[in-house]
């Protein structure tokens, strides 16, 4: 088990003596499993007090490195009187360098993420592809869901992964998400499997992806806290961080006959477009938006205060666009209140 906190890591340190009852249980297990390798059948359970990690950690000398030593930890609601977030289903504000939770509301509730899914899509693509890799669209880019954000790619169209990632993160194009998934994963299903594997590796154990774009699907959900884990990993990549700061993008890609196709898009992040304003002491670096009927209005941001400290803020399932941006600004005001 990778996802544990410092207290747990110290509790299961090899420096403490293992109780005799453990050896009795261990011997009992061996007696029924033969003389080969012992099989640890206890599952990974993020909320459980017993797991395979604990068994293995107890039986080996030395200290286990805490998975969460550089992470904010959320065990419940925090700072509920600091700001009125009654129109938002779930929200949180994280002090990245200080590893403090400044605000938390329903941070572990499973909800639809809409296009915040694309943060993971980009993260997996960056880990397994290269910017100059040429992608070719297939018929799977044809998405017919009403209201779905599309840039208009057709089967046979080609563009580089660099172009695709910029369109994905700046304009949130669902057809380009499918194009990335098929070309990087071999199939869209395999790419989604890679997304879920990456989520578990990051400790996002309340997350399940069913597609690479975030359109509503059964068994497609995450939490505010898991999105913090995923987004924090993504912004460590300077390339990802540079893209999410971009307010507009122009490019040329090609159809199957090598005829050029021009594309010009603007960011869906209305803080970057200055349609809405943040508190004076806060600068929004970038982020990702998402909207579907099931997910409501969603937003995740990386911001900095006047001292250069970084913050990650997340809101899921806001009732309207005005509520989303207004209450995100209120949430970021907590930074000033805490200083």
User: For the segment 321-337, what is each residue's pLDDT rounded down to a tens digit?
Assistant: 999 999 999 999 999 76
Kindly state the average pLDDT of the residues 18-26. Answer: 44
> Confidence band (pLDDT; 50, 70, 90) for 313?
very high
Residue 337 has a pLDDT of: 64
Torsions phi, psi of 153, nearest 5?
-70, 150
* Alpha-helical runs (H) found in the chain: 6-11, 20-31, 52-58, 117-128, 161-166, 174-185, 188-201, 224-235, 238-243, 321-338
Structure tokens at 253: 């890609």
Average pLDDT of 231-239? Answer: 97
Is the model's pLDDT at 72 over the cut of 90? no
pLDDT-derived band at 302 (thresholds 50, 70, 90) equals very high
**For residue 50, what pLDDT band results from cuts at 50, 70 and 90?**
very low
Write down all domains in the chain, each with its CATH number in brackets. Answer: 6-58 (no CATH), 72-339 (3.40.710.10)
102-124 average pLDDT score:
97
Closest to 79 in 3D by CA, of 95, 67, 96: 95
Q: What is the mean pLDDT of the chain?
A: 85
Q: What confidence tier does 84 reach under pLDDT thresholds 50, 70, 90?
A: confident
Provide the pLDDT for residue 82.
76
Helix extents (H) in 12-109: 20-31, 52-58
Q: What percent of the chain has pLDDT over 70?
A: 79
Q: What's the pLDDT band for 55 if we cut at 50, 70, 90?
A: very low
Mind listing the pLDDT tens digit for each residue in 185-213?
Answer: 999 999 999 999 999 999 999 999 999 99
pLDDT at residue 267 greater than cutoff 80: yes
Tens-place pLDDT, residues 138-173? 999 999 998 899 999 999 999 999 999 999 999 999
């Amino acid at each position: 088990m990778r996802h544990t906190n410092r207290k747990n890591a110290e509790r299961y340190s090899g420096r403490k003596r293992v109780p005799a009852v453990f050896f009795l249980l261990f011997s009992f297990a061996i007696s029924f499993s033969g003389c080969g390798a012992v099989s640890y059948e206890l599952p990974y359970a993020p909320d459980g007090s017993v797991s395979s990690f604990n068994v293995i950690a107890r039986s080996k000398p030395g200290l286990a490195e805490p998975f969460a030593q550089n992470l904010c930890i959320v065990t419940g609601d925090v700072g509920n009187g600091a700001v009125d977030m009654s129109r938002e289903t779930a929200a949180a504000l994280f002090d990245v360098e200080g590893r403090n939770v400044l605000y938390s509301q329903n941070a572990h509730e499973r909800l639809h993420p809409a296009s915040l899914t694309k943060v993971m899509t980009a993260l997996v693509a960056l880990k397994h592809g290269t910017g100059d890799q040429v992608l070719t669209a297939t018929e799977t880019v044809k998405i017919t869901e009403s209201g779905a954000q599309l840039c208009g790619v057709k089967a046979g169209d080609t563009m580089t992964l660099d172009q695709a990632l910029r369109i994905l993160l700046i304009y949130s194009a669902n057809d380009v998400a499918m194009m990335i998934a098929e070309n990087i994963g071999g199939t869209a299903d395999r790419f989604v499997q890679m997304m879920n594997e990456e989520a578990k590796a990051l400790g996002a154990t309340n997350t399940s992806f069913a597609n690479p774009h975030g359109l509503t699907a059964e068994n497609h959900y995450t939490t505010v806290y898991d999105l913090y884990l995923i987004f924090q990993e993504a912004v460590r990549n300077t390339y990802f961080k540079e893209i999410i700061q971009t307010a507009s993008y122009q490019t040329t890609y090609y159809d199957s006959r090598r005829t050029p196709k021009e594309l010009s898009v603007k960011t869906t992040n209305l803080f970057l477009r200055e349609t809405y304003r943040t508190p004076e002491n806060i600068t929004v670096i970038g982020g990702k938006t998402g909207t579907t009927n099931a997910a409501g209005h969603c937003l995740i941001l990386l911001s900095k205060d006047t001292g250069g400290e970084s913050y990650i803020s997340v809101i899921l399932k806001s009732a309207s666009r005005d509520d989303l941006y207004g209450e995100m600004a209120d949430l970021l005001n907590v930074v000033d209140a805490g200083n």
